[in-house]
Amino acid sequence: MFEHRTTHIVSSYYAPRGHKRMYELGMQLAQQYLSPTDKLIGVIGEAGSGKSALIRGMFPGLELTNDDNGVYVRPLPILDIGDETSFFSPHTYHLDIRFENGFTQMSVLADAIIDALHHGKRVIVEHFDLVYPLLGTNANLLIGVGEQVLVSRPNVFGPEPEELRQTVYTSLPYRLMAHTAEDLCEFCMGPDIVARCGHDDVRHGFCMYFQDTKPEIDLIKLEAQVNEMIQQDLPITYVDDHHVSIGGELHQCSGPRIHVGHTGQVKNFRLMNHFIYDRLKRRYLMVGCVGENSDKLLEQLDIRQQRPFGD
């Protein structure tokens, strides 16, 4: 166990869509990487990337000082750590540096984190890269959330928070475009077919699967319908935790915050023109990609799945 931890550099996971899948990933990461001796957990990622859902999965029951409904805990508990050193004081604290810096100086926030660590508390810090220069120490566990979730246990040689930040901030637009394109596909397929499908992930894209039986979908026509909606540049807005509005029409969605603002921001959407049969799990896969190399990515995925087992 000790050797595994000390030799671990960076692990990479697809950042899934929807709270449920993000909670499950958080639970998995906690089981695999979190140690009882980890006191400082740094989380890096843009707003809407799913950081809060991941944290809730890793630390069930933790009171986040910034929830998804815009309710913020006041006064910020970690600022009163000197008054909370009794047996009944919290063991774990959370704070969002980007938000709190609008009300409290960065140096005060840094001092509060250091004081909490000295008192043996655990601190989970969102936007850790912003406060890191003032702390004088890296996180015990560093997590970046973009198109992928990166998990690192830094040592004296890094990685530095800025390295993870550059990676996840650069990749996040692909995730937003892919999830938007996925919802547009659902929007065009109709509720009966959508009710049958599950969701999986590929790089710069998405995967929707149908167990055992292939659905009656004209994939070429579906791609054309989605691209027509993209050309219309329809607004996409958050409605609640289960719905978004696409061009003014309500659509059920498990990840309502993970979208671009308008359909026109989805670039180079392509849908594989045939279903791929997953022999291992006995399901039919519908695969779509976005971005400048979407055609090439689909071609590579198609070639890989044609290889026989054992190659």
Specify whether 145 is located in the same domain as 210.
no
Q: Which domain covers residue 142, as residue numbers?
A: 2-159
**The pLDDT value given to residue 3:** 47
Specify whether 214 is located in the same domain as 121.
no
Residue 299 token pair: 């071609």
CATH label of the domain that carries residue 283: 3.30.980.10
Could you tell me if 50 and 22 are in contact, meaning their C-beta atoms sit under 8 angstroms apart? yes
Q: Flag whether 124 is in a domain.
A: yes
Q: Tell which phi-psi region holds residue 233, choosing left (phi > 0), alpha (psi between -120 and 50) or beta.
A: left
Give the span between the Cα atoms of 302 and 96, in whole angstroms.
42
Give the span between the Cα atoms of 295 and 105, in whole angstroms.
48
Specify whether 94 is located in the same domain as 199.
no
Specify whether 194 is located in the same domain as 264.
yes
Mean pLDDT check: name the lowest of 38-47, 83-92, 126-135, 276-285. Answer: 83-92
Specify whether 25 is located in the same domain as 73.
yes
Mean pLDDT across the chain:
89
Q: Flag whether 164 is in a domain.
A: no
pLDDT tens string 68-119: 555 566 678 888 776 555 555 678 999 999 989 888 999 999 999 999 999 8
Q: Residue 311 corresponds to which amino acid? A: D
- Residue 223, pLDDT above cutoff 70: yes
pLDDT tens string 165-214: 999 999 999 999 999 999 999 999 988 899 999 999 999 999 999 998 99
CA 152 to chain centre: 16
Compute the Cα dihedral for 219, 224, 225, 229 and give only its sign: positive
Give the span between the Cα atoms of 76 and 214, in whole angstroms.
52
**The pLDDT value given to residue 2:** 46
pTM summary value: 0.86
Looking at per-residue pLDDT, the higher value among 67 and 145 belongs to 145
Could you give the strand order of the β-sheet that contains 10-14, starting from the edge strand earlier in sequence? 10-14, 148-152, 141-145, 40-44, 122-126, 92-96
How many domains does one find in the chain? 2
CB burial readout 179-212, b (16+ within 10 A) else e: bbbbbbbbbbbeeebbeebebbbbbbbbbbbbee
Specify whether 13 is located in the same domain as 140.
yes
**The pLDDT value given to residue 82:** 64
pLDDT tens string 132-177: 999 989 999 999 999 999 999 998 888 999 999 999 999 999 999 9
Q: Flag whether 167 is in a domain.
A: no
